[in-house]
Amino acid sequence: MRQIRNTRQRQLVLEAVRARTDHPSADEICLDVRRKDPRISRGTVYRNLNVLAESGEIAHVEAPSADRYDLRAEPHYHLYCLSCGAVADAPLPYQSEDDRRVAEETGFEIRRHQTIFEGLCPACREKAEQFGQ
């Protein structure tokens, strides 16, 4: 089986994800990493985010426009603001029994499910109300 090496670049990417709690996109992580070493290529950041998500050290969150990465590795749900694009954690427990039930009824082998609540964050809701909805 394929060995995984511990490269300086991979460490920098992992540190960059762990330094943020706001669910950054790959490009945002790329900017952060390049502040420490401007020579790191975009492809390397994308590749390492995938490797780290695959190995369970971080979480990959699918979101509209651009996927996000999350220092919280255990499965949980997210909120997405349709206006400003912000992503936040949702205060609901992961329903793993749904995975079992769906697997049983459909014959799929379920790895997990992703849930994203779409709406307006408090700040954007306020702005929208000022302009008469």
Partner DNA sequence: ACTTCTATTGAGATTCAATCCTATTATGCT
Partner DNA sequence: AGCATAATAGGATTGAATCTCAATAGAAGT
Residues forming contacts to a second copy in the complex (CB under 8 A) are 62, 64, 77, 79, 81-82, 88, 90-92, 98-99, 101-103, 105-122, 125
Residues 51 and 107: their CA atoms lie apart, in Å, by 29
CB 53 within 8 A of CB 95: no
- The amino acid at residue 130 is Q
The least CB distance from residue 40 to DNA, in Å, is: 4
Residues 67 to 126: which contact DNA by CB under 7 A? 67
65 φ/ψ sector (left φ>0, alpha ψ -120 to 50, else beta) = left
Select the binding partner of residue 125 from DNA, a second copy, none (C-beta < 5 to 8 A, by kind).
Answer: a second copy
List of residues contacting DNA (CB under 7 A): 2-10, 25-27, 37, 39-44, 46-48, 50-51, 65-67
